[in-house]
């Protein structure tokens, strides 16, 4: 704390922000010592208290929000909606509920007449996971996705009658993930291929958010050409930024899907997913190690050899050491710090509670842990890992293994029909061609 004060002694506001955090850390340390030293305290209670102290050691947030924005219309920008839905899937898998996600999609690619797989969006040629899914909740769609509406979401300055589902009801203890993807350039991002939002516009909105106590920390991600310049004008504290490309660089796609006929994902998103899919947000013991993965680990994994551009974080307005910032501080949910059945006990329990049978208390804790693990297992099954999505080959012939394509001698029925049509119509086409030559 003293070191932090020394580093920020010229900023009275920054120094004042450190004092509540110092008091909170001291209180947690005292509570942990009392709980561990009190007679009759079960091992499960001490473990729960330790887990809570670990959660608050480097962060003061109590809830998480995600604002995910695809700004591109038109079919050839398919990969941008796949990028956005990939982040949407990741934050939901790690525990952020739809009630705390604002999803903005500028076009309805799933229902486009050119989509070979109606109602579905894929981020890989393997097409193993439908990113559109059955439980997607789009808050702003089509022409609702505008610079004005994005700024209204950030600042919570909506017209009267705007429903709750279209509002980001953040507070001073909210960690916010803000992700933008589309086409852009030096300090601007295009909306609908017609309008633009500037770095200065976003910077002023973030300043309003901080003044109105609408976030504790904010992670800004831009995936567009010259993406890092979108954070060039930021001046609000506690904002960590990263772009998929540097000034003068393009943000490149990763691969095509021949059936869809387009690029289906960008390189930055692809390799971010590759990292995030090993991060687990559950309460099971096997999830503990990856839950401590830091944003520094994530940033280091985005090498230039992979992304083909310079994805470097901007820490100008961010004070914390990136090695102490866990990816789940922004991509996960603070609500996953589950208390044990008997509470935190220790010195705060009554004498009669401390005299309860230790065996019964341990059984309660074991039951609670099992229920938490089962709940997370169900979520993991719904949002299963993407190894097969990232690395599987193209199953074009056996899509979803439906086996309903009729073939003869290993030749697909569609190709046989094409051959027959060519043979049948070839003489007529040749005769028509000769007639036209004689006429002209």
Catalytic residues, by residue number, are 183, 225
Burial class from Cβ neighbours inside 10 Å (0-12, 13-18, 19+) for residue 49 reads: buried
Cβ pair 162, 126 in contact under 8 A? no
b/e per residue 300-327 (b: at least 16 CB within 10 A):
ebbeeeebbbbbebbeebbbbebeebbb
State the DSSP string of 116-127: SSTT---SSTT-
CA-based end-to-end distance of the chain: 91
Task: Give the torsion sign (CA, 82, 88, 93, 99).
Answer: negative
CA distance 133 to 117: 12
Give residues with Cβ within 8 angstroms of 335, minimum separation 6: 63, 95
Tell me the residue ranges of DSSP E strands in 49-111.
Answer: 63-70, 101-105
Task: Give the torsion sign (CA, 69, 74, 80, 84).
Answer: positive
What SS3 class is residue 162?
Answer: coil
CA distance 86 to 89: 5
Give residues with Cβ within 8 angstroms of 172, minimum separation 6: 213, 214, 215, 216
Cβ pair 78, 70 in contact under 8 A? no
CA distance 363 to 338: 16
Tell me the residue ranges of DSSP E strands in 249-404.
Answer: 253-257, 262-266, 313-314
β-pair type (63-70, 195-198): unpaired
Q: Specify the DSSP element, H or E, that contains 218.
A: strand 217-223
Q: Which of 250, 253, 282 is nearest to 265 (CA)?
A: 253
Cβ pair 145, 36 in contact under 8 A? no
């Amino acid at each position: 704390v003293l070191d932090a004060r020394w580093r920020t002694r010229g900023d009275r506001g920054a120094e004042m922000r450190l004092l509540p955090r110092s008091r909170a850390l001291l209180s947690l340390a005292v509570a942990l010592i009392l709980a561990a030293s009190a007679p009759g305290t079960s091992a499960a209670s001490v473990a729960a208290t330790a887990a809570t102290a670990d959660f608050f050691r480097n962060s003061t947030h109590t809830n998480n929000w995600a604002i995910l924005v695809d700004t591109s219309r038109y079919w050839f920008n398919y990969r941008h909606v796949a990028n956005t839905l990939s982040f949407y899937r990741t934050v939901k898998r790690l525990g952020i509920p739809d009630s705390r996600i604002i999803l903005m999609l500028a076009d309805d690619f799933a229902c486009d007449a050119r989509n070979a797989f109606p109602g579905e969006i894929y981020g890989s040629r393997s097409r193993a996971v439908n990113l559109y899914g059955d439980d997607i909740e789009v808050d702003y769609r089509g022409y609702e996705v505008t610079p004005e509406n994005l700024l209204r979401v950030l600042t919570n300055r909506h017209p009267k009658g705007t429903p709750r589902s279209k509002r980001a009801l953040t507070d001073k203890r909210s960690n916010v993930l803000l992700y933008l993807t589309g086409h852009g350039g030096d300090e601007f991002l295009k909306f609908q291929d017609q309008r633009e939002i500037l770095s200065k516009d976003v910077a002023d909105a973030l300043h309003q958010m901080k003044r109105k106590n609408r976030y504790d920390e904010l992670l800004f991600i831009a995936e567009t050409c010259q993406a890092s310049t979108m954070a060039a004008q930021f001046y609000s504290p506690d904002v960590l930024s990263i772009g998929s490309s540097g000034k003068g660089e393009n943000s490149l796609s990763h691969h095509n899907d021949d059936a869809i006929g387009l690029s289906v994902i960008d390189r930055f998103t692809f390799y971010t997913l590759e990292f995030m899919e090993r991060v687990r947000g559950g309460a099971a013991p096997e999830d503990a190690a990856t839950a401590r993965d830091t944003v520094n680990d994530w940033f280091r994994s985005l090498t230039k050899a992979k992304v083909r551009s310079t994805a470097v974080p901007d820490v100008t307005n961010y004070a914390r050491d990136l090695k102490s910032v866990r990816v789940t501080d922004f991509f996960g949910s603070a609500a996953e710090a589950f208390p044990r059945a008997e509470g935190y006990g220790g010195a705060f329990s009554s004498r009669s509670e401390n005299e309860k049978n230790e065996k019964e208390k341990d059984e309660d804790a074991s039951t609670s842990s099992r229920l938490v693990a089962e709940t997370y297992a169900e979520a993991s099954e719904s949002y299963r890992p993407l190894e097969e999505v990232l690395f599987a080959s193209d199953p074009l012939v056996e899509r979803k293994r439906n086996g309903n394509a009729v073939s003869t001698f290993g030749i697909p029925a569609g190709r046989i029909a094409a051959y027959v049509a060519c043979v049948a119509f070839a003489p007529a086409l040749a005769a028509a061609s000769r007639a036209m030559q004689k006429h002209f």
